[in-house]
C-alpha cells in the first residue's frame, strides 16, 4: 500500500478557487449567497487552522483536563449552532441549554463507550482519539437535535388548538403531545438514516475516504467507518430523544397546560 500524499498550500488554494466559481454563479443568478459563501469559507479556514494548532498542543500534552476543556468548548459551540438553526426557540437559557445539554449527554456517553470498548487507547482519554470521536458524534447529533426541536416547536404551535382540545377532554400532556413528539423524532433521524442507507453505494463517508487517501487498507477503513456510523447513529438518536422529551417538558407546567408563551419566533 502506498503512503499518503502530502498536500501543499497551493493544492488547497486551487480547490478553494471552486468557491469563487460558486460565488460567481450566485451573483449571475441573483441568489444573494455570494457574501454568505465567502464568510462561511473564510470562517471554515480560520477555524480549521486554529483547531489544527490546538490539536497539536493537545496531542503533545495528553492532559485529561485539557481534553475535558476542549470537549466543553466543542459542546458549547454545538449548542450555539443548534440554537441558531431554529426559527422557533425557547426564551432565555433553555434556548441554548436544552440543545447543549442533550448533545453533551449523548455525545459523552457514546464517546466514552467507544473509548472503553472498541478503541481502548492508552490512556483512555487520549485526545488523539477522544476529540475526533466526540467531534463526529457531536456534529451529527447537532443536526438531529436542531431539526427535531425546530419540528417539535413548529408542529406544536401549528396544532395548538387540537392539543388544547385534547387537554380539555381530560388527556394528559404526554398523550396530547404524542403526535408532535413522534414527528419531531422522525424528522431529526432522517439525515442519519439517509447517510447510513447511502453509505458505500452513493457515497464513501468522510472518515473512510480520508483513511484510504492516507494509505490504509480498504477493509480496515470499512471497519472503522462502520464503527463510526454506528456510534453516530446511536448518539444522534439518544440526543434527539432527550432534546425532544425535554422540550415537551419545558412546554408544559405542573397543571398540564400548554405553555407556548415560553417560545418565541426569531424574525
Q: pLDDT by residue for the chain (267 residues), tens digit each? A: 455 677 788 888 898 889 889 888 888 888 888 888 889 889 999 989 998 898 899 988 889 999 999 999 999 999 998 888 888 889 889 989 999 999 999 999 999 999 999 899 988 899 999 999 999 999 999 999 999 999 999 999 999 899 888 888 888 888 889 999 999 999 999 999 998 888 877 767 777 777 777 778 888 888 888 999 999 999 999 999 999 999 999 998 887 788 888 888 776
What is the pLDDT, as a whole number, of residue 262? 86
Stated pTM of the model = 0.84
Which strand (E) or helix (H) includes residue 48? helix 34-61
What ranges do the domains of the chain cover? 1-61, 63-265
227: closest CA among 123, 131, 113?
Answer: 113
What is the pLDDT, as a whole number, of residue 85? 80
Q: Which residues contact 1 (CB under 8 A, 6 or more apart)?
A: 215, 216, 217
What is the pLDDT, as a whole number, of residue 183? 95
**Cα–Cα distance measured from residue 193 to residue 233, given in angstroms and rounded to the nearest whole number:** 8
**Cα–Cα distance measured from residue 240 to residue 245, given in angstroms and rounded to the nearest whole number:** 9
What is the pLDDT, as a whole number, of residue 1? 47
Is the preceding omega at residue 224 within 30 degrees of 0, hence cis? no
What is the pLDDT, as a whole number, of residue 3? 59
**Cα–Cα distance measured from residue 243 to residue 144, given in angstroms and rounded to the nearest whole number:** 10
Please give the span between the terminal C-alpha atoms of the chain, in angstroms, as a whole number. Answer: 54
**Cα–Cα distance measured from residue 119 to residue 117, given in angstroms and rounded to the nearest whole number:** 6
**Cα–Cα distance measured from residue 145 to residue 85, given in angstroms and rounded to the nearest whole number:** 10
- Residue 33's Cβ-side half-sphere holds a number of Cα atoms within 13 Å equal to 14
What is the pLDDT, as a whole number, of residue 236? 94
Owner of C-alpha cell 488523539: 128
| Other beta carbons less than 10 A from residue 48's beta carbon | 10
Amino acid at each position: 500500500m502506498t503512503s499518503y500524499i502530502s498536500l501543499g498550500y497551493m493544492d488547497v488554494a486551487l480547490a478553494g478557487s471552486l468557491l469563487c466559481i460558486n460565488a460567481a454563479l450566485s451573483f449571475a443568478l441573483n441568489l444573494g449567497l455570494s457574501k454568505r459563501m465567502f464568510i462561511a469559507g473564510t470562517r471554515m479556514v480560520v477555524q480549521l487552522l486554529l483547531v489544527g494548532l490546538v490539536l497539536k498542543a493537545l496531542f503533545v500534552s495528553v492532559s485529561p483536563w485539557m481534553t475535558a476543556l476542549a470537549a466543553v468548548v466543542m459542546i458549547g459551540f454545538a449548542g450555539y449552532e443548534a440554537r441558531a438553526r431554529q426559527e422557533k426557540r425557547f426564551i432565555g437559557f433553555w434556548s441554548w441549554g436544552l440543545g447543549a445539554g442533550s448533545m453533551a449527554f449523548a455525545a459523552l456517553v457514546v464517546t466514552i463507550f467507544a473509548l472503553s470498548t472498541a478503541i481502548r487507547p492508552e490512556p483512555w482519554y487520549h485526545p488523539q482519539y477522544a476529540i475526533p470521536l466526540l467531534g463526529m458524534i457531536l456534529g451529527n447529533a447537532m443536526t438531529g437535535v436542531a431539526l427535531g426541536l425546530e419540528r417539535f416547536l413548529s408542529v406544536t404551535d401549528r396544532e395548538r388548538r387540537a392539543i388544547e382540545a385534547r387537554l380539555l377532554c381530560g388527556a394528559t400532556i404526554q398523550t396530547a403531545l404524542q403526535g408532535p413528539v413522534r414527528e419531531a423524532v422522525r424528522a431529526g433521524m432522517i439525515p442519519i438514516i439517509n447517510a447510513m442507507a447511502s453509505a458505500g453505494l452513493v457515497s464513501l463517508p468522510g472518515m473512510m475516504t480520508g483513511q484510504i487517501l492516507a494509505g490504509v487498507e480498504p477493509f480496515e477503513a470499512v471497519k472503522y467507518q462502520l464503527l463510526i456510523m454506528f456510534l453516530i447513529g446511536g448518539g444522534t438518536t439518544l440526543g434527539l430523544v432527550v432534546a425532544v422529551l425535554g422540550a415537551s417538558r419545558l412546554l408544559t407546567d405542573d397543571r398540564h397546560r400548554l405553555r407556548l408563551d415560553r417560545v418565541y419566533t426569531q424574525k
